[in-house]
Structure 1
Amino acid sequence: MTHDTHGDKLTLLNPPGLHPTSGYAHVTIAPAGRTAHLAGLCPLDADEHVVGPGLDAQIDQVVANGLAVLAAAGARPEDVVRSVVYVVSDQSGVLAAAWERLTASALGPAFRTAGTLLGVAALGYGGQLVEVDLTAALEG
């Protein structure tokens, strides 16, 4: 079993017999304490407009929004214990490219823990191509 501890907060596990991952953990264990459950991070600017054009620009806005809300909660990307990424596509190459851009970003450490990547038909805003849900462990 691969076991990795990040600071005093998280234990990441990859049990034997399960498929290898692309950098995330099958299991994330956070110590008892408080958590922050963030609303879906959408690619909206401060005026509630979907940014663009294209998936890359939207991912960059989601990253900026994610860093801002984590900071407001007193957390960092390294404190994220669970992520769910929604991408409007049924193409595995598009999903993989979105994952790679997210994991290479300043928000990247948030995606090393337990997570899910989903291709979906549509999201809540017209033209929206990506949304990210995060849960973070907080101090005390």
Structure 2
Amino acid sequence: MTIERANPDKLHPTPGYHHITKVQADTLIYLAGQCPLDPSGDLAEGGLEGQTDQVIRNILVALESAGATPDDVVRTVIYVASPVRDDLAAVWTQLNASPLAPALTSASTLLGVAQLGFPGQLVEIDVTAAR
């Protein structure tokens, strides 16, 4: 498998992700959007930071169970239920300071949305990996 990440000279610089992720792989792994639910199904406490921590843990467990690591991630879409740009930036910063950080060097999108699927849910991340 090969993963090539690139930022063409004619596109704007990025805060760590790449505009293009080109993959040649035998297996693609699509994770369901990972929510801030703990193993018992309860919503993680601690507001946006606590929920983001739980989502990170859930993604790491899911990747490991599929035989993948954050280095194998080729695309992420991060949803934050907030219209406040500082909330989106806080999630991005927290993710980049976590063990999931290598996943965010691929093609990545960060969105503020009106609401997510579970009452009180503030963050969800959609992940695609390749092996």
Q: TM-score, normalised by structure 1?
A: 0.91
Gaps of 5+ in 2: none
Within the alignment, does 1:129 sit opposite 2:115 as a pair?
A: no
Gaps of 5+ in 1: 1-7
Contact 1:89-1:121 within 8 A present in 2 as well: yes
Aligned length: 131
Cα distance in 2 between the residues matched to 1:32 and 1:67 = 20
Question: 2:103 is matched with which residue?
Answer: 110
Segments of 4+ moved more than 2 angstroms:
none
Which of 14, 36, 42 is matched with 2:35 structurally?
42
User: How much identity, in percent, do the aligned residues show?
Assistant: 51
Alpha-carbon RMSD = 0.9
1:21-44 Cα deviation digits (max 9, x unpaired):
000000001114210000000000
Question: 1:17 is matched with which residue?
Answer: 10
Equivalent residues in 2 for 1:61-140, closer than 5 Å: 61-138=54-131
| Secondary structure, counterpart of 1:40 in structure 2 | strand
Within the alignment, does 1:31 sit opposite 2:10 as a pair?
A: no
1:93-117 Cα deviation digits (max 9, x unpaired):
1101110101110111111100100
